[in-house]
């Protein structure tokens, strides 16, 4: 009984990661006051003159990294590089230089992060 439940939980996890909406995720990634990923990353299909080069290009990232790693990149980028300049999108504590109106709120909600992960996974 317990084993069956565990097996169910294990198979449910990847499905939960895949629940985001890729089109919404792309809009969030481009949005000036939401993701603004394009500030640091080249994104496929965008004007090359308006793309940052601080981070690696995101083209093909969906084949390089699995969904769990993509999500982790967004919520805890410092786990990959302690000195990273990439914002921790899902966190509301332990941040520096946060504007008053934004204090106590994450940059992106859990659902928005699911959408961005779904979009990143399509970049093959």
Binding site for ligand HEC (CB under 6 A): 29, 35-37, 39-41, 54-56, 61, 64, 70, 73-74, 77, 80-81, 84-87, 89, 116, 120
Contact 70, 120 (CB under 8 A): yes
Cβ distance to ligand HEC smaller for residue 11 or 23: 23
Cβ distance to ligand HEC smaller for residue 12 or 53: 53
Cβ neighbours for 52, distance < 8 A, ≥ 6 positions apart = 38, 39, 40, 41, 42
Cβ distance to ligand HEC smaller for residue 7 or 69: 69
CB of 111 to ligand HEC, least distance (A): 14
Cβ neighbours for 35, distance < 8 A, ≥ 6 positions apart = 28, 29, 89, 107, 108, 112, 116
């Amino acid at each position: 009984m317990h084993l069956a439940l565990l097996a169910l939980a294990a198979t449910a996890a990847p499905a939960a990661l895949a629940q985001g909406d890729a089109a919404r995720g792309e809009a969030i990634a481009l949005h000036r006051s939401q993701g603004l990923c394009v500030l640091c990353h080249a994104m496929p299909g965008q004007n090359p003159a308006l793309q940052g080069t601080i981070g690696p290009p995101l083209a093909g990232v969906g084949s390089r990294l699995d969904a769990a790693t993509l999500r982790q990149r967004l919520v805890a980028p410092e786990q990959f590089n302690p000195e990273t300049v990439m914002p921790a999108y899902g966190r509301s504590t332990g941040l520096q230089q946060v504007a008053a109106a934004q204090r106590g709120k994450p940059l992106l909600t859990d659902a928005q992060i699911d959408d961005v992960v779904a979009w990143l996974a399509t970049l093959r």
